[in-house]
Every structure is written in structure tokens, then in C-alpha cells.
Amino acid sequence: MPTASPSSQSQPRENEYRKDALIWGAGGHAKVVADILRQNAYAVCGFLDEATPHRRGELFCEATVLGDANQLQKIYESGVRKAIVAFGDNMRRLAVGELLEERGFELITAIHPSAVIAPDSVVGSGSVVVAGVVVSPAAVIGRGAILNTAATVGHDCTIADGVHIGPGAHIAGHVRVGRGAWIGIGATIIDRKRIGAWSIVGAGAVVIEDVPDRVLVAGVPARIVKSVEEIRRTR
């Protein structure tokens, strides 16, 4: 019985690498996610955008803005089963991910080919790992997290669901980052520290002490500036 040559075995058939995926979000981060998915052989079926319903039918990032959540059933009935959430609001991103799963969609991860992820680390469903990211051994990344451009996560870290680690942020070993926390661009967290749930670490901050839940810290070294609730009241 003849066997396939190595070259024929290495060439995927069309239906093996064209996999439709829905992106919920139609802003700058969605462009990044679409690029990553396409580099991983996904075909983006379209985008959802609740913030600007007038964009329905607009061509965006080589696909179409399909509308808002009211289109989910039609998209599902078309045969699309994979989806990812692509916007920055951590709390809303987790909520939308749960909604998609309730409606029968599978949350996929988007991992850029240039990212370096240790074989024994874990990246949860719905998370986005952007170009240049390094995830070291025994790290656990939760669901719906964003690891932005060139961020590094040290060994034995635990990054909870919905966390956003900004571009160029560096997290040393054994750090625990709580649910929904935001680590700003270029921030540094030394080893064995804890960042509380829903807290914000300002851009360029250097964290050398544990950070409580729901506070903003900034500076070198990082100090508590105000509570997250204060920030929301002033917006």
C-alpha cells in the first residue's frame, strides 16, 4: 500500500486550516486580534460592535461589521461556532465571553506566532497573547486575559481571568494578579507580590509591595493614588 510523501503530509487541505471565527469588538484591539487569528489560519467571519450600531455593514479589517448581539443567533445558525472578545474593558470582556458560551460558541485563544510560551504553562480560553510576549514555565493565565505586545510573565505566576497586562510590562516570578486587574504599559512587578482584583497599576510603575483590591497605584515605587470607585465617580 503506497504511503504519502512527507511533503504531501505537511500540506493541509483547505478545510483543515480555514476555520471561521467571530470577533466581538471592532476597534484597535480587534484589528490586532484579527491579525493574530489570520496568522493562525482562521477566517474571520465578521465583527460585532454594540457601541456603534450604525456601523452595521461597514467593511472593517478585511471583514464586515455584522451588527450587535441581536445577530448572534443568525451567526450561529450559519455554522460559525468559534468566537473571541476583542476590546479592553476587562469586566465587560468577561461578561461578553460568558454570554457567547451561553449561546453555544466556543471561546478560542489568539496567540501570536512570535509569542514564547513554556510548554507547562496554561493559557485560558478567550485570552489574547500578542507579538513578542514571553510566558515562563509553570505560569497560569486565566480566561479572557490580554497579554499585550512584548509583555513578560515570570515563572510560577498566576494571572487571573480578565486581566490586561499592558505592552512592555514585566512581571517577575511567583506574582499573583487578581481578577480583572489592569497592568499599565511598561510597569514592573517584582517577584512574589500580589496585585488585587480589579486594581490598576499605572504606566511605568514599579511595584515592590502587595497591592490591595480595587485601587490605582502609580509611581516608582508604586503608591496608592485612589480607589477604583473614585476613578469611576469622576468619569
Q: Judge whether 207 and 191 are in contact, CB under 8 Å.
A: no
Indicate the residue type of 84. I
- Nearest CA to 116 out of 72, 162, 154 is that of 154
Q: Residue 100 is placed in which grid cell?
A: 457567547
Residues with a known catalytic role: 155
